[in-house]
Amino acid sequence: MSDFKTIARILGAIRSCEGRPFDVAAVSPEAMGVSEEQRDVLACKLQRAGKVDGLITTEDIDGAPLRVLWAQSSPEVTLDGLEYMATCEPLRSAAREVVGASVSAAVSATAAALGSML
């Protein structure tokens, strides 16, 4: 999966949880479709770039691998992140692909469930 698709998923997951307790399952490696390491590296890059805020990381701990402590974090998309989501064409293109794949998967799952009822 491209980094932009993963970034789109991370930003979408964070945005969907704003205003309520963060759902760690929304950013699980399974939900993201990437390894924990890749997810956390990209999330840290987003925070360093000012696109998200509120991530608790191991970034400043000597010798610790880079990790986001999602359960202890209260992430939110910043105003700069919202602008980035609205204007970055590679990100918007990746988001369209992610949405299209999600719709296809949902339709397939629904059809399979209906088929098992017949």
pLDDT in tens, the chain (118 residues): 589 889 988 998 898 888 888 899 989 999 888 999 999 999 999 999 999 999 999 987 887 888 999 999 999 999 999 999 899 898 888 878 877 665 454 455 455 555 665 5
The beta strands (E) that lie in 3-106 are given as 52-53, 76-77
Distance CA 24, CA 27 (A): 6
Distance CA 95, CA 6 (A): 9
pTM to 2 decimal places:
0.79
Q: Which residues contact 35 (CB under 8 A, 6 or more apart)?
A: 29
Which one, of 79, 81, 101, 93, lies nearest residue 32 by Cα?
Answer: 101
